[in-house]
Amino acid sequence: MMQTIDIRTLQPSRSELARLVPRASTDVAAATESAAALIDDVRARGELALLEQAEKLDGVRPPHVRVHASEISEAVRHLVPQVRDALEAAIERVRTATRAQVPAGSVTVIAPGAEVIQRWQPVGRVGFYVPGGKAVYPSSVVMNVVPAQVAGVRSVALASPPQKAFGGAIHPTILGAAGLLGVDEIYAMGGAGAIGALAYGVPSIGLDPVDIITGPGNIYVAAAKRLVRGVAGIDSEAGPTEILVIADASADPVLVAADLVSQAEHDELAAAVLVTDSPELAVAVAAEVERMAASAHHGDRVRTALAGQQSAIVLVADLAAAAAFSNAYGPEHLEIQTEVPGEILDLIDNAGAIFLGAHSPVSLGDYLAGSNHVLPTGGQSRFSSGLGAYTFLRPQQVIQYDRPALEAVSRAIVDLSTAEDLPAHGAAVTARFTET
C-alpha cells in the first residue's frame, strides 16, 4: 500500500533531500481566483453574499449568519457529559501550558537616565476559523481560543460553516465548546467568504474587522488567508495534516502503524511517513498498516492517503540520516520512537511538534497533552511555529531618556544624520539644547 523510498546508499545534499521528500500535489495558487471572487462578493454584498455562498457551497442556507446567544447557551447545556468533561480537561491543560508562553516585560538601562522598556501587547481583536468538512473539530476551538485568551485578547469572533444535518446551524458540539470558553460572537459562515468577512467586516450583522485570523481549513480557506494577509495577520496557510515517525528496530510496529493510520483518517491528502534504519521494522509496519486500513472506520480515506505520493516508508542508513531527512521534510508532527529518543531530539531542527517515546502519540497532542495542535504544515516548520499565546502578542519598545542622557549622545546622532544626508534628524535633537 505505502511506497518505499530507499536512500540507504545515498549521501544526499540538503537540496537533494528536499527533492526526495514525499509531498501531496496541492497548489494554493490554483484556488486563488475563486477565493478572491468569493471575498469580493462578501465585501460588496455582505450578509446576502454569505447566505448565498452557504446555500451553494454548503448545501444549506442558514436562518441567520450571526448565531443567537440562546443557541450557544443551549449547545452548552446539551453537550454530552463525557464530551464536556473532556473539553474542560483540554481547556485547563492547554491554558496551563500556554501561560508559559507569555514573556515578562523588561527594562534595560542603557546608561544613567536612558531606558528601553520591552513590553508585550495583545492584538485588539481576533477571528477564529473552525472547519466543518469531513470531521467535527471542537478541539480546534480550544486550541485557537485559549492562547488568545491567555495573551489577553479582549475581542474575539468565531466562524464555522453551517451544517446541512442541523438545518443550517453550526455543529452543536462546536457551539458548545465555544460557549464553554465564553465566546459569544459566532457566525455560521464558511470557506473563503468567511475569511473575507472576518478580515473586512460585515456591518449589517455587527461583524467588525479582526486583526488576526487563525485556524485551519481547505485549500480555498488557505488561498483566502493568503489574499487577506496585510489587511489582517494570519497564523499560517494550513495544508493537509502530516505525521513523520522516526523509528528503529526497538519500536513496536503495531504502535507505529496505529499512529500513521490515525493521521491518515483526516483526509485523502494526509501524509504518513515512516523513516527507519531497520528493514525488518519497515516490512512489519507495512503489513500492520495494510491490516489496520482494511478495518478502519474511514477505510477508503485512510487507504487513499496511505497509497498517495505524500506517504511513504523511507529506508535510511542510520538514525543520523533519519534526522537529516526529517529536517528536510519539516513535519507538522514528528514522533521519535527509538531506543534513546533524546539522542535523536538533539539532531532535530525543524518540526511543528515533537512526540518522544512510545507513550507520546500524536493523538495525545491533538487533544489533551496541553500543547497546541494548530501547527505548520507543508515544510513551514522550517521558518514558523505552531499557534501559541505569542501569535497574538506584539513586542513593543518604549524609549525613555532624560535630558542629560539625550545630550550625551546628541553629537553622535548629528554625525550619523549628517552622514545619511538627513540633517533635520540631527536638528530635532540639537533643538532641545538651543537656548532661545
Catalytic residues: 332-333
The answer to whether 95 and 146 have CB atoms below 8 angstroms apart is: yes
Q: How far is CA 375 from the centre of its chain?
A: 4
Q: The C-alpha cell of 354 is what?
A: 515533537
Query: Would strands 271-276 and 353-356 be described as parallel, antiparallel, or unpaired?
Result: unpaired
| b/e map 359-387, b = 16+ CB within 10 Å | ebbbbebbbbbbbbbbbbbbbbbeeebbb
Q: Which residue has the cell 511555529?
A: 385
Q: Phi/psi of residue 115, each to 5°? A: -130, 145
CB atoms within 10 A of CB 346: 7
Task: For residues 309 and 306, give the distance between their C-alpha atoms in angstroms, rounded to a whole number.
Answer: 8
Q: Which residue has the cell 546628541?
A: 410
DSSP string, 46-87: THHHHHHHIIIIIS---S-SBPPHHHHHHHHHTS-HHHHHHH
Task: For residues 272 and 349, give the distance between their C-alpha atoms in angstroms, rounded to a whole number.
Answer: 20
Helices and strands per DSSP (H, E), number in the chain: 17, 14
What DSSP character marks residue 344? H
Q: The C-alpha cell of 184 is what?
A: 459569544
Q: Which long-range contacts (CB under 8 A, 24 or more apart) does 426-432 make?
A: 432/403, 432/406
CB atoms within 10 A of CB 33: 9
Region at 237 (left for phi over 0; alpha for psi -120 to 50; beta for the rest): beta
The answer to whether 235 and 274 have CB atoms below 8 angstroms apart is: no
Residues linked to residue 157 through DSSP beta bridges, in sequence order? 127
Residues linked to residue 256 through DSSP beta bridges, in sequence order? none
- CB hemisphere CA count around 344 (13 angstroms): 30
Cβ burial of 165 (10 Å; 0-12, 13-18, 19+) is: exposed
The answer to whether 31 and 223 have CB atoms below 8 angstroms apart is: yes
